[in-house]
Amino acid sequence: MEETRRLINRRGGADRRRSRDRRQSTKPYDGPERRSGKDRRKAERRQSDLLALPDKFHAAMINLCTSAMQECNCLSISLSMIVSLGGVQTAKRLLAGPVMQSGLFALSERGRVDLSVESLVLKEEYSELFEPQELSEAKHRLDLLHGRP
């Protein structure tokens, strides 16, 4: 009997604490949880897209590198460079260099400029990862390959 009374008292104390905690946490909150379902999903999708964009670019760079090796038997960029620096930083470093990479010329000779870092950087979905100067440098290099000044 006494054992049962102790269990009831313990449980009652825990229940009282829980209800007190609930009362304290019922303050209004204007974060994403308070938005309507459709608006909340849109906001979450936008946020995840922004966070995932560098990861998507990184994966695209790795695919680009492996495709260039398989189809043209040439490397426009080093896979180890992509892995160590990340896709975005690798592209930024290649575009910051004073000269075009030899891999870009090799891809151009084989008619596969679409497998170049410059082409990937200029895709609309990735353009926000780069500065305007980097985008113009990529465009300038591709124009030089096509004989446009």
Closest of 96, 86, 28, 38 to residue 62, by C-alpha: 86
Residue among 45, 66, 148 at smallest CA distance from 115: 66
Report pTM. Answer: 0.64
Surface-to-core class of residue 122, CB atoms within 10 Å of its CB (0-12 exposed, 13-18 middle, 19+ buried): middle
Q: Which residue has the higher pLDDT, 51 or 64?
A: 64
Encoded tokens for 146:
């096509």
List Cβ neighbours of 29 (8 Å cut-off, separation of 6 or more). Answer: none
- pLDDT tops 90 at residue 148: no
DSSP 8-state symbol, 77: S
